[in-house]
A and B are shown apart, each in its own frame.
Chain A
Amino acid sequence: MRPTVIFTSASMAEARDARSYLSSLDYEVVTVPGEVCLWDEQALGAFAAPYASSLCGVVHPAPERILGSVESVSEAQWDRAANEGPLAAWCVTKVFCGLMKENGGGSMIYLNSIHAEKPVGNGALFSMGCAAAQMLSREANQDYAQFNVRTFFIQKGITRTDPDSKSPVSAVYFGTDLRYPQREMPKEGYLNGLIAFLLTPQAAPLSGADLRADGGMTMFYTHRRKVEGRRYLGMPD
């Protein structure tokens, strides 16, 4: 029986890349279909039941972001953000970590965003949900690590096609490889190796950790872009 990894959504490009990569490593990769409500414990449990004995890992990507100022948020947006963000993350954790606990262990990977710590600038609903999932990851580590269920919180960065690049704060970083210490924006599939590693028992000492995987974007300073950018682009000083 091949070990099963469940993706709770495939709306994020990094999740789709990782799904393909893990399939090539001989995992059975399953994606929760859109009609299964992620904040419905019973529906999620029913979906997971056939994989209960082989489940070794779960990847839970952050929901699609809702952008807009705090003043512009509608009641419907508030409800949607709560359901798809913190409530879904909690339900996914409770159902799948419970199953992996019964199985003797596994990895719960929250494939989330730098916006758990870095504000979007016009996306409070999104970043609040990210931070809630981040704290859930730390709490789940407290509750489940003793049963060999490891939890990890990946703060992913952005790629050229990422809708995150439309946020005002990301715009500061976006649009130039010079914003990255390696002078290169992360390419497609940049999280594949990390996710594959986190699914292994060798990642156990990292359980409960935040892993910022953004190509160094949030740790690089604009003044260096300005100074080096001129040199890089042949601009006059």
Chain B
Amino acid sequence: MACRTEERTALVTGGGKGVGAGVVKVLASRGIRCCINCNTHPDMAENTLRAVREAGGDGFVYQADVTDLNQLQSMVDAVIARWGRLDILVNNAAMQPNLFIDQYDLEKLRRIWNINIGGYFHAVRACLPHLKKSGCGRIVNISSIHGKRPTGFDAGYAMTKGAIRMLTRELALELYGDGITVNAVDLGGCKIEFKTGNAPISAFAPAECRNPAMSGFRMVTPEDVGKMVYYLCSPEASAVIGDGVRLDKGLVLI
């Protein structure tokens, strides 16, 4: 009974746009109530909420900076105040500055560390008491193929994605006994409005540098991610523990 869809609630960080919005729309369309976290683009989060409601789903927008522990806690408290339970945490809020190693300075690196991994780590800590009570707790960390494969253009980003890989495995071991499964989705080439950070490398890489085998390559959509997250949150995925599911339409095979 704990996993009955119509009772469950989810918190999706960075859920207002891009990948997060895709996750919210899929979860909500299948009866899971969603708290849509946003920070820099509340207008886009409101659009996502509108789409959720038009499709018959339930949710609300909460603006919070995931690097601020107090704001994180207030957001979790708001979910509990509204619905009385929290079953699913989808960690998604992140940035990608696209800087080479020698272009980073300490502050820039500390900032991306605090957002991309600190935000995930502290969101887990804030949600954990409620996920434990759920009986069907699920944590899904949205990550990247660059947690294993180097980018060639953003060492700081890849470092945080590598860290998410290990955070996922550690949490999976630590929380298994509490009935909580923890997994990651390793994304590659997802089609979104824009990333929080600088222009992607493809915007300035000369055409002759691109892999010709990628011509005609279709990108993953946020809805693809949402479907994978929904599966990982389902009872059918209860044996999937500490995995990083690669979702890239075969990009890394090239």
Which residues of chain B are near A82, meaning CB under 8 Å? 110, 113-114, 118
A119 touches B166 (CB 8 A): yes
Residues in chain B near residue A211, CB distance under 8 A: none
Whether the Cβ atoms of A128 and B166 lie closer than 8 Å is yes
For residue A127, which residues in chain B have a CB less than 8 angstroms away from its CB? 166-167, 169-170
Q: Is A142 an interface residue when CB atoms closer than 8 A count as contact?
A: yes
Asked if B135 is at the interface of the complex by the 8 Å CB criterion, the answer is no
Report A-chain residues with C-beta under 8 Å of the C-beta of B169.
119, 127
A119 to B167 Cα, complex, angstroms: 8
Q: Chain A nearest CB: distance from B185 CB in Å?
A: 17
On chain B, the number of residues with a Cβ less than 8 Å from chain A's Cβ atoms is 44
A169 to B171, CA, bound (A): 13
In this complex, how many residues of chain A approach chain B with their Cβ under 8 Å: the count is 46
Q: Contact at B102–A98, with CB atoms within 8 Å?
A: yes
Task: Let me know if B158 and A139 touch, CB within 8 A.
Answer: yes
Interface centre among B147, B152, B166, B174, by most chain A C-beta atoms within 10 angstroms, is B166
Q: For residue A208, give the distance in angstroms from its CB to the closest CB of chain B.
A: 8
Tell me the bound Cα distance from A91 to B101 in angstroms. Answer: 9
The residue that A69 contacts in the complex, of B149, B164, B174, with Cβ under 8 A, is B174
Chain A's nearest CB lies how many Å from the CB of B84?
22
Cβ of A78 within 8 Å of any chain B Cβ, yes or no, is yes
Q: Is the CB of A115 within 8 A of B166?
A: yes
> How far apart sit A116 and B164, CA to CA, in the bound complex (Å)?
11
Cβ of A70 and Cβ of B174 under 8 Å apart? yes
| Nearest CB in chain B to that of A41: its residue | B106
B242 touches A143 (CB 8 A): no
Chain B interface, DSSP helix/strand/loop, else mixed: helix
Interface pick from B89-97, B120-128, B224-232: B120-128
A138 at the interface (CB under 8 A from B): yes
Given A71-B128, A138-B150, A139-B150, check contact A90 B171 (CB 8 Å): no
A57 CB to nearest chain B CB (Å): 18
Within the complex, the shortest CB–CB distance from B127 to chain A, in Å, comes to 11
Interface presence of A33 (CB below 8 A)? no
Q: Cα distance A142–B157 when bound, in Å?
A: 14
Task: Contacts A82-B118, A119-B242, A135-B158 known; list 14 others, CB within 8 Å.
Answer: A73-B121, A86-B113, A89-B159, A124-B170, A127-B170, A128-B163, A128-B164, A131-B165, A133-B159, A135-B159, A136-B159, A139-B150, A139-B152, A139-B155
Between A and B, 16 residue pairs with Cβ closer than 8 Å are: A39-B106, A41-B106, A70-B124, A70-B174, A82-B113, A89-B159, A90-B155, A90-B159, A116-B166, A117-B166, A120-B170, A127-B166, A128-B163, A128-B167, A129-B163, A135-B162
